[in-house]
Structure 1
Amino acid sequence: NPGEPATTLLLLTSPHFEDFGELMHLVPRAQAVADQLALQEGAVSVQVLPFHPDASYSEMVGDPADCSTRSPVPMLHLLRGSDVVQAEEMWATLHAADEAPGIQQRNSAYLRGLGWEKASSLCTRFGTCLSGHDGMART
């Protein structure tokens, strides 16, 4: 329904989630709950996306692409599944003639093109805590 919120942010302020690994342990459980709720009549599917000040999915230390999943505090971003599908379809229509990269891949490539210093300075400018090359949290 267009009149209802399309997104919800759950800020996880418990010290338990200061560790990125602890947040990542929560994500599959949160997604399982969302999937169970989606089975109820009239419910919508929800995609659970984690964001964290120390988020890192790369093997490379200081990968600018990690800035795309950083946030000032640990949080779960809940998105309606239908909105995710619609965004992906719109992206494909606008950018993909022949299997263009997905949104996340494009964002990662863009941030890597900027380099760590520029990407991290943009995130810092918008209030996102970032880990530096030494792994220490920055604000």
Structure 2
Amino acid sequence: MTIPTVLFVCVHNAGRSQMAAGWLRHLGGDRVRVLSAGSAPGDSLNPMAVAAMAEVGIDITAAVPTLLSDEAVVESDAVVTMGCGDACPFYPGKRYEDWKLDDPAGQPLEVVRPTRDELRRRVEALMAALGVAVA
């Protein structure tokens, strides 16, 4: 069986896309390959995104904002943008979704938590659509 690859994209690749990637790695384990990138990656992760994920037992501190490439899109079965207006290369045969979610940049933890929780719900729905069982 082929393991699906999912790419999460946001401009700075420091908050929403990293939290979504963290959820998918946590819930999908070795049944899915996870990529994350941005068109203008930041220097580091959003500390509130890191803290929000740590609250649910997911450590994303090793993640590094990465520049979006055509190669990452080509490798992916599903490409998910985070409602940030990011222009992503389009290739036929890929699943594309745009998740419009509040940007956690500059927000306190209590504002980031609902985004974290909504990301989990959406990641679980994407997993179901891709036929990936939740761990």
* TM-score where L is the length of structure 2: 0.25
Whose helix fraction is larger, Structure 1's or Structure 2's?
Answer: 1
Instruction: Name which one, 1 or 2, has greater alpha-carbon Rg.
Output: 1
* TM-score where L is the length of structure 1: 0.25
